[in-house]
Amino acid sequence: MSIWKKLLEVEKHVRGLGKDSSSGSGGFGYKYVSGSKVLEAIKPLMVANGLLLKQEIVRVEVQRVDYKTSKGIEKSEHLFNVWQKFTWVDVDTGEMDVNEFFASGMNDWEKGLGSALTYAERYFLLKYFHIPTDEDDIDNSSRKMESEKQEREKHTAELKSKGVAKLKSLITLEQKEELLKKYHVKSLEELSLEQLKESVNQIEMMKK
């Protein structure tokens, strides 16, 4: 499998992610998807498909920023402008996909570089795989839909199992052969739920 097909497999299986973190305080910040949540969703898919992601710093520009806080306190920080490369590596074939990326980070002195690197990793993954984040509970909704689908399938399977058992208790060998020919199946288990219901009703009517 080529690196492109492996990356496609990751994109096919990753879900939308709800925003789980906030910036700022007092309710005036904004919500975003945390880096840990992004990695939690994508890393298992990377491992399963034999993919590594290498993050490299190409160039860094640092600028001192002096300002006053909302309380009038003078403060100085460093703004880090960081040019980077994100390289996908296929461990099976050695194929690579190189992507240039830029991010800025400003924090108390040396922390600005880490902020820029973390920001870049999070948003590179979100944008590369086109992961939607515009609904607060999109990942929870997806899980709920999947759970409901599984419950429906389980319920249908239980009804079919009961239908097959009831049909077997009602029909003769000759009637069974006729049903198999009618619906073009090899066993009663292959009948759909509607076909089972229809067959049971017909047999019960004949017995009255």
- Cβ count within 10 A of residue 60: 13
Res 23: pLDDT? 59
Res 20: pLDDT? 65
Domains of the chain are 3-136 (3.30.390), 153-200 (no CATH)
| Partners of residue 81 on adjacent β-strands | 61, 104
Task: Judge whether 83 and 104 are in contact, CB under 8 Å.
Answer: no
Give the 3-state secondary structure of residue 132: coil
- How large a percentage of the chain has pLDDT more than 70? 85
Please write the tens of the pLDDT for every residue from 138-192.
444 445 556 667 888 888 899 999 999 998 998 889 889 988 998 999 999 999 9
In this structure, what token pair is assigned to residue 146?
A: 């999947």
Pairing between β-strand 74-90 and β-strand 51-68 as defined by DSSP bridges: antiparallel
**What average pLDDT does range 107-117 have in this prediction?**
83
- DSSP class of residue 49? T
Q: What whole-number distance in Å separates Cα of residue 61 and Cα of residue 82?
A: 7
Q: What whole-number distance in Å separates Cα of residue 24 and Cα of residue 6?
A: 38
- The letter for the amino acid at 110 is E
Q: Closest Cα to residue 125, out of 3, 37, 2, 6?
A: 37
